[in-house]
Amino acid sequence: MKDLKDILYRVSLTATIGNMDKKVNGLAFDSRKVSKSDVFVAVKGTQVDGHDFIGKAILQGATVIICETLPTEVLDHITYATVSHATKALGIMASNYYESPSSKLKIVAVTGTNGKTTTATLLYQLYMEMGYQVGLISTVENRINEQVIASTHTTPDALSLQELIQKMVEAGCTHCFMEASSHAIVQERLSGLKLMGAVFTNITHDHLDYHGTFDEYIKAKKMLFDRLPKDAFALTNADDKRGMVMLQNTQATKQTFGLRFPADFKAKILTNSIEGLELDIDGKQVWFRMIGEFNAYNILAVFGTAVLLGEEEEEVLMQLSKVPGAQGRFDKITIAGVTAIVDYAHTPDALENVLKTIQGVRTGGEQVITVVGCGGNRDKTKRPIMAKIATNLSDKVVLTSDNPRDEEPMAILREMEAGVNPVDFKRTMVIEDRREAIKTACVLAKPSDIILIAGKGHETYQEIKGMKHAFDDRKIVKELLNLIHNS
Ligand X SMILES: N[C@H](CCC[C@H](N)C(=O)O)C(=O)O
Cβ contact 19:5 at 8 Å: no
Site for ligand UAG in 133-162 (CB under 6 A): 153-155, 157
Give the residue closest to ligand ATP by C-beta.
115
Instruction: Give least dist CB 120 to Mg ion, A.
Output: 8
112 is in an annotated binding site: yes
Binding of ligand UAG by 53 (CB under 6 A): yes
Q: Which is nearer to ligand X, 152 or 487 (CB)?
A: 152
Cβ contact 1:23 at 8 Å: yes
Q: DSSP assignment of 282-318, as one string?
A: TTEEEEES--SHHHHHHHHHHHHHHHHTT--HHHHHH
Residue from 22, 143, 189, 329 touching ligand ATP (CB under 6 A): that is 329
Instruction: Give least dist CB 471 to ligand UAG, A.
Output: 19
375 binds, among ligand ATP, ligand X, Mg ion, none (CB under 5 to 8 A by kind): ligand X
Binding of Mg ion by 139 (CB under 5 A): yes
Cα–Cα dist 447/71, whole Å = 68
Q: What is the DSSP letter of 32?
A: G
Q: Sort strands 253-258 and 233-237 into parallel, antiparallel or unpaired.
A: parallel
Residue from 22, 116, 242, 458 touching Mg ion (CB under 5 A): that is 116
Q: Which is nearer to ligand ATP, 31 or 237 (CB)?
A: 237
3-class secondary structure, 224: helix
403 is in an annotated binding site: yes
Cβ contact 98:122 at 8 Å: no
Residue from 1, 21, 47, 213 touching ligand UAG (CB under 6 A): that is 47
Closest by Cα among 276, 324, 282, 315 to 300? 282
Binding of ligand ATP by 116 (CB under 6 A): yes
Give the residue closest to ligand X by C-beta.
375
Closest by Cα among 375, 397, 365 to 463? 375
486 is in an annotated binding site: no
Site for Mg ion in 147-206 (CB under 5 A): 154
Cβ contact 360:366 at 8 Å: no
Question: Of 43-51, 122-130, 212-220, 251-259, which part binds ligand UAG (CB under 6 A)?
Answer: 43-51
Q: DSSP assignment of 410-442, as one string?
A: HHHHHHHHTTS-GGGGGGEEE-SSHHHHHHHHH
Binding of ligand UAG by 62 (CB under 6 A): no
289 binds, among ligand UAG, Mg ion, ligand X, none (CB under 5 to 8 A by kind): none
Cα–Cα dist 258/448, whole Å = 33
Binding of ligand UAG by 88 (CB under 6 A): no
325 binds, among ligand ATP, ligand X, Mg ion, none (CB under 5 to 8 A by kind): none
Cβ contact 95:101 at 8 Å: yes
Question: Nearest 5°: phi and psi at 144?
Answer: -120, 105
Q: Which is nearer to ligand X, 246 or 342 (CB)?
A: 342
Cα–Cα dist 254/244, whole Å = 9
89 binds, among Mg ion, ligand UAG, ligand X, none (CB under 5 to 8 A by kind): none
Instruction: Give least dist CB 184 to Mg ion, A.
Output: 11
Cβ contact 62:38 at 8 Å: yes
3-class secondary structure, 332: strand
Binding of Mg ion by 117 (CB under 5 A): yes
Q: Which is nearer to ligand ATP, 133 or 327 (CB)?
A: 327
Q: Which is nearer to ligand UAG, 34 or 369 (CB)?
A: 34
Exposure class string for 183-194: b at 16+ Cβ within 10 A, else e: bbbbbbbbbbbb
Closest by Cα among 123, 155, 117 to 308? 123
3-class secondary structure, 396: strand
Other CB atoms within 10 A of residue 303 CB: 25
116 is in an annotated binding site: yes
- Assign residue 142 a region (left: φ > 0; alpha: ψ between -120 and 50; beta: otherwise): beta
Instruction: Give least dist CB 345 to ligand ATP, A.
Output: 4
Binding of ligand UAG by 87 (CB under 6 A): no
Binding of ligand UAG by 255 (CB under 6 A): no
Site residue total, ligand UAG (CB under 6 A): 20
Binding of ligand ATP by 179 (CB under 6 A): yes
Site for ligand ATP in 335-354 (CB under 6 A): 343-345, 349-350, 353-354
153 binds, among ligand ATP, ligand UAG, Mg ion, none (CB under 5 to 8 A by kind): ligand UAG
Binding of ligand ATP by 118 (CB under 6 A): yes
Angle at alpha carbon of residue 144, lines to 141 and 145, rounded to 5°:
110
Residues in the annotated binding site: 31, 112-118, 154-155, 181, 187, 189, 378, 402-405, 455, 459
Q: List contacts with ligand UAG (CB under 6 A).
A: 29-32, 43, 45-48, 50, 53, 153-155, 157, 181-184, 187
Contact residues for ligand ATP, defined by CB under 6 A: 112, 114-118, 139, 154, 179, 201-202, 294, 297-298, 329, 343-345, 349-350, 353-354, 457
The binding site for ATP consists of 112-118
Return binding residues for meso-2,6-diaminopimelate.
Answer: 378, 402-405, 455, 459
